């Protein structure tokens, strides 16, 4: 028996980083997805084609890779196994081979870490004979992402579990109806830091200058609340204006890098209605109000466009 979970990736429209500190955020799922397959095995294995290891140290006696980078890269998966061992006393129970398939590079600001967690929770729990509801999958996934990163909101794991457009506020998830007249262009640039590292940078800014940090987050909250109304009423011009404003606040939080700021300011100068960084930053994803000029510019600056059309199903699990 092979259990396969498919998890959509996601784009953050408004409120990334602020959502970690209790502010609202808006995100939605796209057609890019990650698949996690779990099958019985004589030993626990984790395999993933698109993980790259920087630097290798090999124990030639047992031909074993000894490398802290490997441990970090698969931490999201191993933490899921630890969770179920702790909570469902499956110690020394069935061993599993866990395979992750993704067409998107890891760590691009599209919620790949959350998708790996949600997919592994959904598939591994079913492999153990559990029938978890989406609410439980989302809750466990957030706890796992939090354990690995030390800091994490519910946004990525809950958006990818439920699917569609979601408004996140104070631990609650509300589905948003956004008219199809509003659509987006998106893509990503090579990233120089992971989200976990960006979260730690933002936390240190908060500790250095708490009052300025509060002002910035309160301003992002105002933008996100206004964007919710503009989105559901189909006001693309207003959504676009608010995207540029949100990008400016994220620049002030120090989560952008030159290529992202260059892209956003050149898009604005060429008349694109709205653009901003999306997700953890440090490179990674950008999102704009749909405009071919934005997609051409993204590619011209060395980025990769993705299909930014919304999907509405969230995580799915099947036996193959």
Ligand X SMILES: C[C@@](O)(CCO)CC(=O)[O-]
Ligand Y SMILES: Nc1ncnc2c1ncn2[C@@H]1O[C@H](COP(=O)(O)OP(=O)(O)OP(=O)(O)O)[C@@H](O)[C@H]1O
**Which residue among 110, 178, 182, 267 contacts ligand Y (CB under 6 A)?**
110
Residues 143-182, one symbol each (x = binds ligand X by CB under 6 A, - = not), give: ---------xx-xx--------------------------
Among 15, 187, 280, 314, binds ligand Y (CB under 6 A): 280
Among 15, 111, 283, 303, binds ligand Y (CB under 6 A): 111
Q: Decide if residue 107 touches ligand Y (CB under 6 A).
A: yes
Using the minimum distance from each CB to ligand X, give the nearer residue, 112 or 273: 112
Q: Token pair for residue 158?
A: 């809950």
Residues 141, 224, 303, 29: is their CA dihedral positive or negative?
Answer: positive
9-68: contacts with ligand X (CB under 6 A):
12, 16-17, 19-20
Ranges assigned E (strand) in the chain: 2-14, 25-40, 45-48, 58-59, 64-65, 96-102, 165-169, 172-176, 184-189, 275-277, 284-289, 304-306, 316-319
Q: Are strands 96-102 and 25-40 parallel, antiparallel or unpaired?
A: antiparallel
Q: Of residues 96, 108, 122, 216, which one binds ligand Y by CB under 6 A?
A: 108
Which listed residue (125, 157, 195, 246) binds ligand Y by CB under 6 A? Answer: 195
- Could you confirm whether 261 is annotated as catalytic? no
Q: From the list ligand X, Mg ion, ligand Y, none, which binds 19 (C-beta under 5 to 8 Å, kind-based)?
A: ligand X
Burial class from Cβ neighbours inside 10 Å (0-12, 13-18, 19+) for residue 226 reads middle
Rounded-to-integer distance, Cα 238 and Cα 139, Å: 34
DSSP string over 176-244: E---TTS-EEEEEE--SS-HHHHHHHHHHHHHH-HHHHHHHHHHHHHHHHHHHHHHHTT-HHHHHHHHH
Nearer to ligand Y, 27 or 137 (CB): 27
Residues with active-site annotation: 156
Provide the binding-site residues for ligand Y, judged by CB under 6 A: 48, 50-51, 73, 76, 100, 102, 106-114, 116, 156, 194-195, 279-280, 284
- Positions touching ligand X (CB under 6 A) are 12, 16-17, 19-20, 111, 152-153, 155-156, 195, 199, 279-280
């Amino acid at each position: 028996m092979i259990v396969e979970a498919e998890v959509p990736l996601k784009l953050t429209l408004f409120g990334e980083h602020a959502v970690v500190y209790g502010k609202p955020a808006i995100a939605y799922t796209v057609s890019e997805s990650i698949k996690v397959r779990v099958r019985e095995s004589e030993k626990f294995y984790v395999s993933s084609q698109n993980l790259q290891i920087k630097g290798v140290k090999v124990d030639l006696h047992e031909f074993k890779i000894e490398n802290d980078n490997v441990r970090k890269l698969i931490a999201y998966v191993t933490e899921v196994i630890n969770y179920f061992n702790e909570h469902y006393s499956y110690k020394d129970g069935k061993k599993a081979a866990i395979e992750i398939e993704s067409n998107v590079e890891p760590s691009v600001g599209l919620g790949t870490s959350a998708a790996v967690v949600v997919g592994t929770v959904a598939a591994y729990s079913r492999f153990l004979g559990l029938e978890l509801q989406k609410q439980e999958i989302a809750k466990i996934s957030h706890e796992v992402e939090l354990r690995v990163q030390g800091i994490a909101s519910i946004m990525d794991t809950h958006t990818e579990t439920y699917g569609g457009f979601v408004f996140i506020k104070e631990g609650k998830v509300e589905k948003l109806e956004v008219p199809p007249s509003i659509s987006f262009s998106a893509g990503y640039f090579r990233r120089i830091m992971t989200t976990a590292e960006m979260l730690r940078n933002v936390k240190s800014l908060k500790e250095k200058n708490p009052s300025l940090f509060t002002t910035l987050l309160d301003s992002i909250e105002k933008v996100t609340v206004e964007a919710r109304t503009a989105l559901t009423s189909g006001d693309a011009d207003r959504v676009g204006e608010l995207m540029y404003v949100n990008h400016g606040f994220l620049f002030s939080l120090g989560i952008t890098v030159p290529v992202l700021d260059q892209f956003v300011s050149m898009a604005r100068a060429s008349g694109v209605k709205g653009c901003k960084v999306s997700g953890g930053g440090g490179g990674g994803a950008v999102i704009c109000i749909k405009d071919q000029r934005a997609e051409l510019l993204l590619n011209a600056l060395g980025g990769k466009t993705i299909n930014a059309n919304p999907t509405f199903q969230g995580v799915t699990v099947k036996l193959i």
